[in-house]
């Protein structure tokens, strides 16, 4: 039970990190005039 919960949290954290990095990359590409 504890292992499954840890794996789930690890996967969710990974998805959030990848999604956040992707959103930042899109934002930087579209808003180059900073």
| Percentage of residues of the chain with pLDDT beyond 70 | 91
Cα dist from 21 to 4, 6, 26, 29, 33, whole Å? 26, 22, 9, 12, 20
Residue 34 has pLDDT above 60, yes or no: no
Looking at residue 30, what is its pLDDT? 87
**Which pLDDT does position 31 carry in this prediction?**
82
CA-based torsion, 14, 16, 17, 19: positive or negative: positive
pLDDT in tens, 15-31: 999 999 999 999 888 88
């Amino acid at each position: 039970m504890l292992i499954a919960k840890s794996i789930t949290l690890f996967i969710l954290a990974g998805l959030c990190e990848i999604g956040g990095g992707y959103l930042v990359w899109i934002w930087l590409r579209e808003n180059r005039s900073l």
